Structure 1
Amino acid sequence: MTGMGAVTPLGIGVTALWDGLLAGASNVVDLSARGEDWANLPVPVASVAPELGPDVIDPIRARRLDRSQALAVVAAAEAWAHAGAPEVERDRLAVVIGAGIGGLQTLLDQDDVLENSGARRVSPRTVPMLMANAAAAQISIEYGAGAGVFTPVSACAAGAEAVAMGMRLIDGDEADVVIVGGAEAPIMPLTLAAFARAQTLAKPSRALDQLSRPFDLHRSGFVLGEGAGVLILESERHAAARRAPTIARIAGFGISSDAHHMTAPDPTGTGQVRAMTTAVRRAGLKAGDVDHINCHATGTAVGDRSEALAIRTVFGEQVPVTAPKASIGHLVGGAGAVEAIITALTIDTGIIPPTKNLDDADPELMLDVVTTEKPGPVSAALTNSFGFGGHNAALLLSAP
């Protein structure tokens, strides 16, 4: 991994993400003032990323992109620059950007236009703005990627699956450089209403920045968020040839499926165990070699419980874990990529970031959750991403 870029509720850029995590920051916003549709929601709050001003993206271009695509394009630009804008043959550059939903804001906005103003007022750009693969396609066009453009659409595991697919492309000698990541902009009244009806959103019963409480005894769900994370993966040969500094190494990955339920994880954690053990095995390591785990940890009662059981099964109770969704919210298709960046920074800096809002740890979970900034070193770390439909993805990162 030679480059990283991010747009999250903690700000624009990887530095804002990391500094915000270490400071215990968040940006959970009450959306009631946006209008009647928002005010009438049972949970009118979300973790909102900054607006992308003209200093960040050209306004004309931004109008031609769904917000999810704009977030991805901005994150990709930072990652590409961070990697030193690598020179690579067109047919050796690929793009994999995951999405849970895609251009939801465009779809719903243009449906309103259709209903209120008629078919002739619908934007001719609607289809390329709502396609789930559009963020990946936009990035492939911008950087001239001819080795393939791919979009895993696997709910909250999509960003992590994109990283895994990038590793597969490099290992299979199909590409030398792969732009990977995930992006999502799902904050709309329909989405918030649907998640609230599914009883997955944190109940607005306390201060906004305290709502997301992974692993806490009083957790009640997640705070929906938006954002994008993009990483530049290179083969060791290609990075060495141009003497590019390496941030961390994607040493292994594991992907499995629960085949259990459309929204609930398998309570036995069997599929999650399989994903984690596969990632460790592919990396040529043993469970005891893993210094840290970045957890999926959305803050739902059943989700945190199954993940804790799976972690204890593979690694025991002593490995330090953290849960960044307490700070950034749940970024859906962007979550796995952003949290891969967090895990890479944990290795690069040797600092495990704290988990916010863990005031009363659930004793049933029996995990060593880091609540204050913890120094390393961290030589190998695992990051988990699990999605509706039973998707399980684990990435094993190691020091270069």
Structure 2
Amino acid sequence: MRSGRSGLAPCDWGGLPIACHIGRVAGIEADPFPGDLAAWDNRATRLALAALEADGITGRIAAARSRWGAARCAVVIGTSTSGVETLERAYRARADGAPLAAGYSLRHHNDHQAVAAFLQRLCGLDGPAYTISTACSSSAKALVDAVQLIEAGLADAVLCGGVDSLCRTSLAGFDALELVSRAPCRPCDAARDGLSIGEGAAFLLVEREGSGPRLAGFGESTDGTSMSTPPEDGAGAHAAMAAALQRAGIAPAAVGYVNLHGTATPANDSAECAAVARLFGAQVPVSSLKGLVGHTLGAAGAVEAVMALIAMEAGLLPGNAGLATPDPEIACAVLAESREAPLSHLLSNAFGFGGNNCALVLAR
């Protein structure tokens, strides 16, 4: 983030003849996988495992389990495709008209509950465990549900976040919608022409009591204007952001940075930035993180919330990777490069197809 170095590279996935760039996690296939959970071995659970092991969160989860009891620790994740990549391989490997290979299991792979069940067993948690799938807002909504489970008295700690892996379904599907750029994505750029698909996972532990950064507020809305296109004025985005500020009990001026959903499609960036400018004014620093990692779809809300938290801890306003010529029609202060600045509150957006909108206010 600090240097603006993108992880996007030319597509080398699955022999697909699509000239685009992707955000691929290199070497994930060779990582060790727990033998007692081998039935759940697929690309999505491997990404989830890598995310858990990245920064020591497993120790925090164990401490929460000891503090609250396993039955009071829940799991909520967001995903769009779960382990569908395993189904794709099984389908391509079968003979014409033959059933799928005996080793394929819907329950352990592309059932949307598969990753949540894997995480629950891996971490020894016995509270509620479920999955949210609202396209690209899925894992942001998982954070919201974590707070609501605690407020409802159903849990004291919640492991929440999201995961999505690269797969032919996503790459070919978004390309069929003519939403995939042939170049690395360029959010907010005058020449932006589509997104770059990525993959990833990110998790947070939300507890009833504790120290560290806070999910100070959240807002959700569903505008339902179109299956894939937001309203031009960003009304749904505006409603979600305004509700997040209201719940946090802060004025727009208290927010020092807005992490845009920023997909680099012409319609999304224009509508979102119109809503941001209407609520915050034209001076609040904004950027999209998708030029760094691509659009991780159902994981994007959590992945980018974690990236934004890391930036907050580092006193960094992340630059908008891929921005060469700012779109003069976008009335927001888009950060061309990263710069140092203290932050007390930031807002992170995640919007999904069908008008599923979610905004998170994160605080020190």
Letter of the 1:73 partner, please give it.
L
Counterpart residue number, 1:110: 90
Give the counterpart of 1:167 among 143, 147, 152. 147
CA shift at 1:193, angstroms?
2.3
Letter of the 2:173 partner, please give it.
A
CA shift at 1:82, angstroms?
5.8
Counterpart residue number, 1:261: 226
CA shift at 1:186, angstroms?
3.1
CA shift at 1:63, angstroms?
7.1
Counterpart residue number, 1:85: 62
Q: Tell me the SS of whatever aligns to 1:174.
A: coil
CA shift at 1:84, angstroms?
6.7
Q: Deviations over 1:157-193 (max 9, x none)?
A: 00101111111112222211110001001332x4322
Asked if the contact 1:355–1:372 (Cα under 8 Å) also holds between the matched residues in 2, the reply is yes
CA shift at 1:142, angstroms?
1.6
Counterpart residue number, 2:177: 198
Letter of the 1:119 partner, please give it.
P
Letter of the 1:143 partner, please give it.
C
Q: Tell me the SS of whatever aligns to 1:291.
A: coil
CA RMSD of aligned residues (A): 2.1
CA shift at 1:32, angstroms?
5.0
Q: Do the aligned partners of residues 316 and 44 (structure 1) sit closer, same or farther apart at CA in structure 2, a change above 3 Å counting?
A: closer
Give the TM-score normalised by structure 2: 0.93
Asked if the contact 2:274–2:330 (Cα under 8 Å) also holds between the matched residues in 1, the reply is yes
Q: Do the aligned partners of residues 103 and 55 (structure 1) sit closer, same or farther apart at CA in structure 2, a change above 3 Å counting?
A: closer
Q: How many residues align?
A: 360
Q: Tell me the SS of whatever aligns to 1:341.
A: helix
Give the counterpart of 2:188 among 185, 197, 215. 215
CA shift at 1:347, angstroms?
2.1
In the alignment, does 2:280 pair up with 1:312? no
Counterpart residue number, 2:204: 231
Q: Tell me the SS of whatever aligns to 2:198.
A: coil
Letter of the 2:202 partner, please give it.
G
Give the counterpart of 1:290 among 239, 255, 260. 255
Letter of the 1:149 partner, please give it.
A
Q: Do the aligned partners of residues 145 and 359 (structure 1) sit closer, same or farther apart at CA in structure 2, a change above 3 Å counting?
A: same
Q: Tell me the SS of whatever aligns to 1:129.
A: coil
Q: Do the aligned partners of residues 55 and 375 (structure 1) sit closer, same or farther apart at CA in structure 2, a change above 3 Å counting?
A: same
Give the counterpart of 1:158 among 138, 141, 160. 138
Measure, in 2, the Cα distance between the counterparts of 1:355 and 1:344.
Answer: 16
CA shift at 1:340, angstroms?
0.8
Give the counterpart of 1:138 among 118, 126, 149. 118
Counterpart residue number, 1:123: 103
In the alignment, does 2:45 pair up with 1:45? no
Measure, in 2, the Cα distance between the counterparts of 1:66 and 1:178.
Answer: 24
Give the TM-score normalised by structure 1: 0.85
CA shift at 1:76, angstroms?
2.7
Asked if the contact 2:240–2:359 (Cα under 8 Å) also holds between the matched residues in 1, the reply is yes
Q: Do the aligned partners of residues 289 and 82 (structure 1) sit closer, same or farther apart at CA in structure 2, a change above 3 Å counting?
A: farther
Q: Deviations over 1:332-369 (max 9, x none)?
A: 01110011101212222211111112111001111111
Q: Do the aligned partners of residues 29 and 372 (structure 1) sit closer, same or farther apart at CA in structure 2, a change above 3 Å counting?
A: closer
Counterpart residue number, 2:327: 362
Asked if the contact 2:90–2:104 (Cα under 8 Å) also holds between the matched residues in 1, the reply is no
Q: Do the aligned partners of residues 34 and 257 (structure 1) sit closer, same or farther apart at CA in structure 2, a change above 3 Å counting?
A: closer
Question: Where in structure 1 are there 5+ consecutive unaligned residues?
Answer: 1-20, 205-210, 240-244
Asked if the contact 2:139–2:299 (Cα under 8 Å) also holds between the matched residues in 1, the reply is yes
Counterpart residue number, 2:45: 69
Letter of the 1:164 partner, please give it.
V
Question: Where in structure 2 are there 5+ consecutive unaligned residues?
Answer: none
Give the counterpart of 1:328 among 264, 273, 293. 293
Q: Deviations over 1:101-135 (max 9, x none)?
A: 22220121122233458327342434321111111
Determine what percentage of the aligned residue pairs are the same residue.
31
Letter of the 1:80 partner, please give it.
I
Asked if the contact 1:32–1:44 (Cα under 8 Å) also holds between the matched residues in 2, the reply is no
Asked if the contact 2:318–2:335 (Cα under 8 Å) also holds between the matched residues in 1, the reply is yes
Q: Do the aligned partners of residues 33 and 99 (structure 1) sit closer, same or farther apart at CA in structure 2, a change above 3 Å counting?
A: closer
Asked if the contact 2:40–2:118 (Cα under 8 Å) also holds between the matched residues in 1, the reply is no
